[in-house]
Amino acid sequence: MPIRFWKLTFTLLLLILAAVFLAITQLPDKNLHLIACNVGQGDAILLTNGSTQILTDGGPDKSVLTCLGKYMPFYDHKIEMVISTHPDADHLTGLISVIQNYKVEKILINPIDPGTQVYQALVSGVGGEGLDIINPEVGMRVGSGLIYLDIENPSDALLSRLELKDEGSNLSKYKISGETNLYSIVTRISFKNFTAVLPGDIPQEISDALAVSWSMGTVDYIKIPHHGSINGLTENFLRASMPKIAVISVGKNSWGHPREEILEMLAKYNVRVFRTDKMGDIELVSDGKKYWLKHNILIK
């Protein structure tokens, strides 16, 4: 046979072997991986366990796709659930690209419509892809695989403040013009004995209300609300949840985030703080008992 045929065959075999090797090296383990994606001034938090992925928020642009490509196997294009905590652009925008590029099964979202172009684009994407839509209720438990999420906000009392727009809609039931942070979906994550809380951009009003109603005990991990704004985490909620680790998802900004008052409060309670603007992506791994950062700093 001609030499060219053997060269092509050899090249093809090398490519096949490389693909097999890459697939094997990307096989998921049995641990929980909690990744705060470095998306600048915004939020995108990826949870993975085995072949299960749950994404909370998508950041201000398409950079979340880089994070997903880095932490999901190249052959896995399915995300079991995305969560849109509230309809602000720095949390919502990237989810549009995620829905366009991945097979998303479910979306957990408040049916509050701020009337913005970015929210309408998300509504079109959700409808066009036929996603299952879940509206949160306090006390609800959702999840996938071994990952469970308990919903802690928004309450029915909060939603009753809003103007009813379309009672039958699970995406645009209520009209909202401001104070979107009040309605941030707050989830308490459980993976065996590991716990975390993702509070979106809740303001102090909700932080203090959660401190009163909080019955979930201490948590291992908290994503600091509103990028470390002074109008977010309160000392009352910090005492109620007593996290060991705090992650601040933040980028270059003109608001002084994270505020020094928040950093001092966390230091007062000996909470270890990690920031995406200083560390890039922050990946925490847990086997359900102990947990550590990806670069092998043992936390517990």
Q: What is the CATH number of the domain that holds 66?
A: 3.60.15.10
Note down the domain range covering 154.
29-293
pLDDT at residue 14 above 70?
Answer: no
What is the rounded average pLDDT for all residues in the chain? 91
Q: Which residue has the tokens 């201000």?
A: 60
Looking at the chain, list the stretches that DSSP marks H as alpha helix, in order from N- to C-terminal side: 3-25, 64-71, 89-101, 117-129, 156-159, 204-213, 235-241, 260-268, 276-279
pLDDT at 23: 47
Mean pLDDT across 267-289: 96
Radius of gyration for the alpha carbons in the chain, expressed in angstroms and rounded: 20
For residue 59, tell me if it sits in a domain: yes
Predicted model pTM: 0.89
For residue 20, tell me if it sits in a domain: no
- DSSP-derived secondary structure for 141-167: EEEETTEEEEEEE--HHHHTTSEES-T
Q: What are phi and psi of 287, to 5 degrees?
A: -95, 10
The total number of structural domains in the chain stands at 1
Query: How far, in Å, CA of 295 to CA of 209, rounded?
Result: 36
Of 222, 202, 230, give the one whose Cα is nearest residue 269.
222
Query: Would you place residue 177 in the very low, low, confident or very high pLDDT band (cuts 50, 70, 90)?
Result: confident
For residue 62, tell me if it sits in a domain: yes
pLDDT at residue 163 above 80?
Answer: yes
Query: How far, in Å, CA of 295 to CA of 274, rounded?
Result: 13
For residue 96, tell me if it sits in a domain: yes
pLDDT at residue 282 above 50?
Answer: yes
CB-side exposure of 209: number of CA atoms within 13 Å? Answer: 16
Query: Would you place residue 21 in the very low, low, confident or very high pLDDT band (cuts 50, 70, 90)?
Result: very low
Percent of the chain with pLDDT over 90: 82
What is the four-CA torsion angle of 139, 141, 142, 145, rounded to 10 degrees?
160
For residue 18, tell me if it sits in a domain: no
pLDDT at residue 18 above 70?
Answer: no
pLDDT at residue 24 above 70?
Answer: no
Mean pLDDT across 232-237: 96
For residue 10, tell me if it sits in a domain: no
For residue 299, tell me if it sits in a domain: no
pLDDT tens, residue by residue, 112-142: 999 999 999 999 999 888 899 999 999 999 9
For residue 118, tell me if it sits in a domain: yes
